[in-house]
Amino acid sequence: MKLLLISNSTNYKEPYLGWCQPLIAEFLQGTADEILFVPYAGVDVGGKVYPESYDSYTARVRSVFEKFGKKVVSVHEVSDPVAAVNNAKFIMVGGGNTFHLVAELHRNKLIKPIRRKVMEGTPYMGWSAGSNVACPTLCTTNDMPIVMPESFDCLDLVPFQINPHYIDPYPEEINDRIRHGGETRQVRLNEYLAVNKQITVVGLREGTALWIENERITLKGTRNMIVLRYGQEPEEIVPGSVFGYDIAPVNV
């Protein structure tokens, strides 16, 4: 398999997919000229009538990938999404609302076809929700459940859970009047681990990504990744580290 799982599409005051464009360009080398895009996580709240939001989302993504000489075709533009997946040479899933994305993947019967294609070697790229759905379930998303999917089951391309946009607790020096006094991201993920003790969760901070080839994972970007396991202290992994599906270091 060949996957690029990106935490976030945009850093503050940067263009869309700006921070990760060098990484994307490297990942695209030697791949097909046409990319099949899944826009189902996009729910436009700017006044467009749903599902026309898919059109605007796809147009935004096209404007980026045309710079790489790639043609982007969206599954919402084709008459048979399953056939489109079966014939795809490269699959890309955008970010947005994970619940909506998973609901639409199930409704269009795309979970099994996408998983089969990627397991057979079709490159896969996702960011935010598109990274979350590469996991066994959507249970470590940060998103509000705006719809109820048929199932929480996702593509199960990796055996661990990803929490995109992982945010560290506020530092102590922040003014108490503006500090959030409730649960941190780590506390919420520990709640998940309390009832899913066998699962490992990786928190991808902004500006990071997982490059996966044949069960060999490299942390890309400029920030550490946090690893959470039930009953264990959190572990920090530095950029450039290479590890396996068990999140244990491998020989380079």
Other beta carbons less than 10 A from residue 39's beta carbon:
28
Which residue type, as a one-letter code, is found at position 72?
V
Cα 107 to its chain centre, rounded Å, is: 20
- State whether residue 71 is helix, strand or coil: strand
Q: How far is CA 153 from CA 3, 118, 140, 185, 218, in A?
A: 19, 16, 12, 22, 25
Cα–Cα distance for residue pair 79/208, rounded to 1 Å? 35
Please return the burial class of 198, using the count of CB atoms within 10 Å of its CB with bins 0-12, 13-18 and 19+: exposed
Q: Provide the pLDDT for residue 172.
A: 53
Known catalytic residues are 128, 143, 165
Those residues with Cβ within 8 angstroms of residue 213's Cβ, 6 or more apart along the chain or in another chain: 1, 2, 3
Quote the Cα angle for 207-211-214, to 5°.
Answer: 165
Instruction: Tell me the domains of the chain and their CATH numbers.
Output: 2-243 (3.40.50.880)
Q: What count of residues does the chain have?
A: 252
Contact 42, 57 (CB under 8 A): yes
Q: Provide the pLDDT for residue 46.
A: 62
Please return the burial class of 2, using the count of CB atoms within 10 Å of its CB with bins 0-12, 13-18 and 19+: middle
Q: Provide the pLDDT for residue 183.
A: 75
For residue 24, what are its two tokens? 């994307």
**Per-position pLDDT tens, the chain of length 252:** 999 999 999 888 889 999 999 999 999 999 999 999 999 999 876 655 455 589 989 999 999 999 999 999 999 999 999 999 999 999 999 999 999 999 999 999 999 999 999 999 999 999 999 999 999 999 999 999 999 999 999 999 999 999 999 998 765 555 555 555 567 889 999 999 999 999 999 999 999 999 999 889 999 999 999 999 999 999 999 999 999 999 988 865
Q: Provide the pLDDT for residue 49.
A: 46
Q: Provide the pLDDT for residue 208.
A: 97
Model-wide pTM > 0.75? yes
Closest of 137, 144, 91 to residue 116, by C-alpha: 91
For residue 141, what are its two tokens? 């998303």
